Amino acid sequence: NAGVTQTPKFRILKIGQSMTLQCTQDMNHNYMYWYRQDPGMGLKLIYYSVGAGITDKGEVPNGYNVSRSTTEDFPLRLELAAPSQTSVYFCASSLQTGVGEQFFGPGTRLTVL
């Protein structure tokens, strides 16, 4: 199993541009999450999903959108990039029931200039 994969690894955007961060997991996990990590800070939850077709906002959802059409994929969309969205983005997944341990992808480092 590859676990949780994210693409791209790095990206530079200009203000106002849009992009989609891709996240895929092959563990058949129902729960998926998007976090952002700013320097010297812990991770903050952007959006999460408890299953295909179901998404909900986390702590810092403004400026982002998500969709969950399949169990495996959970893309994060930035519509109008702003410098405040410069961060490292992590995708994670966990089982629906039981342990609830989260498994993280390697991250996408995004810079908005």
Partner 1 sequence: KQEVTQIPAALSVPEGENLVLNCSFTDSAIYNLQWFRQDPGKGLTSLLLIQSSQREQTSGRLNASLDKSSGRSTLYIAASQPGDSATYLCAVGGSNYKLTFGKGTLLTVNP
| Residues of this chain that bind partner 1 (CB under 8 A) | 31, 33, 35, 40-45, 48, 50, 56, 58, 90, 92, 94, 99-107
Closest CA to 83 of 26, 9, 6, 17: 17
Contact, 27 vs 74, CB < 8 A?
no
Of the pair 49, 85, the CB lying nearest partner 1 is at: 49
Of the pair 17, 102, the CB lying nearest partner 1 is at: 102
CA–CA dist 47, 10 (Å, integer): 21
Of the pair 14, 99, the CB lying nearest partner 1 is at: 99
**Shortest Cβ 28–partner 1 spacing (Å):** 16
For 43, other C-beta atoms within 10 Å of its C-beta total 18
Dig out the tokens for 14 from the structure. 């200009």
